[in-house]
């Protein structure tokens, strides 16, 4: 028996596990410290009333023989897929129902989709990057190249004539930088992928934060994208489902390589390796797309966006350069006083009892940057910024 030796190529621990360990050690040594956590992108507000109502109804249904549900369709119940289809149609994006696949979250599907691709594909990921994109390919043993994202390009890498890869990961608004592609930039990417006969894996986890017409909420708003892209989205940030677990993946039927349909392959993969998302979670997700549900989650998103504005104002007052925030829950700031990101992490934790995410954990280009999350209460966000201003005064 042999193990997958590619795991030895990974960092010793996942970024957020390392952060949790450091914070736990500090808390143990300083039990009275009031720590404000602005690191991991977990939501803090409760589920909206429409979702709670749907959850309760679904639980009641599961208690009655006539409405009890066992195994559901691996691709997702039609009531939820139809709701997702309508959500896209409102933005002028026409999807066929069997192009929509319900999963238990974006992270899972982004990882599992790799089952469809040969190991000798070259994968391109941005630097800085959400660790899952790179780590899952390291685990598989694929060659990875890194697309340079830095201050000079606004942390939005664009394709170039020397860029050669088979699979490209894009995330907009981006995690960790908060930067977002406009329509012209995404059109360049779609045309480039078509010319290279490559595939874009597009992470739209934060699309609900976009409120500017020049910034697409789906790559399928771009002509030609159905021939070049798979899109992933999640209810985790859209509706606070981090503890409920539900997401979806769009695999267009146009995607055919070596005479094999990625849509049919993904369906086959899911029916073999996945038993579907719970009926209760899917009923809750469908409630998100009702008129009341959409109004309620937009109020929640507005709350987080106001938190981002509180952070941005404080950084402006301190003269700190930052990116993101305007259509993203993340603020990507340049570490003050020339500090490296892990040094600033310790400085912030010890001096202000604030936890953020060191940019170095996202790649080489994050070495001198730091991510703060707007997923917190207004009171904690304001208090953290007062502490930061006092610390850097």
Q: What is the pLDDT of residues 286-329, one digit of tens each?
A: 999 999 999 999 999 999 999 999 999 999 999 999 999 999 99
Rounded distance between C-alpha atoms, residue 247 and residue 193, angstroms: 25
The sign of the CA dihedral 248, 254, 258, 263 is: positive
Domain that holds residue 362: 14-43+293-392
Query: What integer pLDDT is reported at residue 110 of this predicted model?
Result: 97
pLDDT tens for each residue of 106-158: 999 999 999 999 999 999 999 998 999 999 999 999 999 999 999 999 999 99
The predicted model gives 17-25 an average pLDDT of 91
SS3 171: strand
Query: What integer pLDDT is reported at residue 16 of this predicted model?
Result: 83
Same domain, 201 and 154: yes
Total number of domains constituting the chain: 2
Task: Find the CATH number of the domain harbouring 30.
Answer: 3.90.1150.10
Q: Is residue 153 part of a domain?
A: yes
Q: Is residue 3 part of a domain?
A: no
Rounded distance between C-alpha atoms, residue 149 and residue 10, angstroms: 22
SS3 286: helix
Instruction: Flag whether pLDDT at 12 surpasses 80.
Output: no
pLDDT tens for each residue of 380-389: 999 999 999 9
Same domain, 73 and 25: no
Same domain, 284 and 301: no
Q: What is the percent of the chain with per-residue pLDDT over 90, rounded to a whole number?
A: 95
Cβ neighbours, 10 Å, residue 368: 17
Task: Find the CATH number of the domain harbouring 61.
Answer: 3.40.640.10
Same domain, 317 and 351: yes
Identify the CA nearest to 92 among candidates 222, 232, 270, 241: 222
Q: Is residue 2 part of a domain?
A: no
Same domain, 285 and 310: no
Question: 40 pLDDT band (50/70/90 cuts)?
Answer: confident
Identify the CA nearest to 120 among candidates 74, 166, 77: 166
Query: What integer pLDDT is reported at residue 14 of this predicted model?
Result: 75
Same domain, 262 and 234: yes
Furthest-apart CA atoms within the chain: distance in Å: 65
pLDDT tens for each residue of 191-249: 999 999 999 999 999 999 999 999 999 999 999 999 999 999 999 999 999 999 999 99
Same domain, 365 and 317: yes
Same domain, 230 and 370: no
The predicted model gives 357-373 an average pLDDT of 96
Rounded distance between C-alpha atoms, residue 32 and residue 388, angstroms: 19
Q: Looking at 289, 318, 338, which one is the last position of a domain?
A: 289
Specify the residue for token string 């709701």.
Answer: 83
The β-bridge partners of 168 are 124, 200
Query: What integer pLDDT is reported at residue 221 of this predicted model?
Result: 98
Query: What integer pLDDT is reported at residue 17 of this predicted model?
Result: 84
Same domain, 239 and 310: no
Same domain, 188 and 219: yes
Q: Is residue 5 part of a domain?
A: no
Query: What integer pLDDT is reported at residue 121 of this predicted model?
Result: 98
């Amino acid at each position: 028996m042999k193990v997958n030796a590619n795991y030895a190529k990974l960092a010793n621990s996942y970024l957020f596990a390392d952060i949790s360990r450091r914070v736990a050690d500090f808390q143990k040594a300083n039990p009275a410290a009031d720590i404000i956590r602005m690191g991991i992108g977990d939501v803090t507000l409760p589920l909206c009333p429409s979702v709670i109502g749907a959850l309760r109804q679904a639980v009641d249904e599961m208690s009655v023989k006539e409405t009890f549900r066992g195994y559901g369709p691996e691709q997702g119940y039609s009531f939820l897929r139809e709701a997702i289809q309508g959500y896209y149609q409102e933005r002028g994006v026409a999807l066929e129902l069997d192009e929509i696949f319900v999963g238990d979250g974006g992270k899972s599907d982004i990882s599992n989709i790799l089952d469809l691709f040969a190991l000798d594909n070259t994968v391109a990921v941005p630097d800085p990057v959400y660790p899952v994109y790179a780590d899952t390919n390291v685990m598989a043993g694929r060659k990875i190249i890194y697309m340079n994202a830095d201050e000079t390009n606004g942390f939005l890498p664009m394709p170039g004539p020397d860029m050669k890869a088979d699979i490209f990961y894009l995330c907009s608004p981006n995690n960790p930088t908060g930067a977002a592609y406009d329509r012209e930039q995404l059109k360049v990417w779609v045309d480039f992928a078509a010319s290279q006969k490559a595939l874009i894996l597009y992470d739209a986890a934060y699309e609900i934060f976009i409120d500017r017409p020049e910034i697409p909420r789906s790559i399928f708003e771009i002509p030609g994208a159905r021939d070049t892209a798979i899109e992933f989205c999640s209810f985790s940030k859209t509706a606070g489902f981090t503890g409920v677990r539900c997401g979806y993946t769009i695999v267009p039927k146009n995607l055919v390589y070596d005479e094999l349909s990625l849509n049919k392959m993904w369906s086959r993969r899911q029916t073999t390796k996945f038993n579907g998302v719970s009926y209760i979670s899917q009923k809750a997700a469908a409630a998100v797309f009702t008129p009341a549900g959409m109004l309620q989650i937009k109020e929640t998103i507005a709350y987080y966006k106001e938190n981002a504005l509180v952070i941005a104002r404080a950084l402006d007052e301190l003269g700190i350069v930052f990116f993101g925030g305007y259509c993203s829950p993340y603020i990507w700031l340049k570490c003050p006083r020339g500090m490296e990101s892990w040094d600033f992490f310790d400085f912030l934790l010890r001096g202000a009892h604030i936890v953020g995410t060191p940019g170095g954990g996202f790649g080489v280009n994050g070495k001198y940057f730091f991510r703060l999350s707007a997923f917190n209460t207004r009171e904690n966000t304001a208090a953290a910024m007062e502490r930061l201003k006092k610390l850097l005064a």
